[in-house]
Amino acid sequence: METVCRYQPRHIELTRAEAGCLLFEVVQTGDPLIWSVAERLADESGFDAHQA
pLDDT at 25: 97
pLDDT at 1: 85
Note the pTM of the prediction, 2 decimals: 0.81
| Overall residue count recorded for the chain in this entry | 52
CA distance 19 to 3: 26
pLDDT tens, 1-52?
Answer: 899 889 999 999 999 999 999 999 999 999 989 999 999 999 999 999 989 8
What count of other Cβ atoms lies within 10 Å of the Cβ of residue 45? 11
Q: How far is CA 51 from CA 30, 33, 47, in A?
A: 27, 23, 6
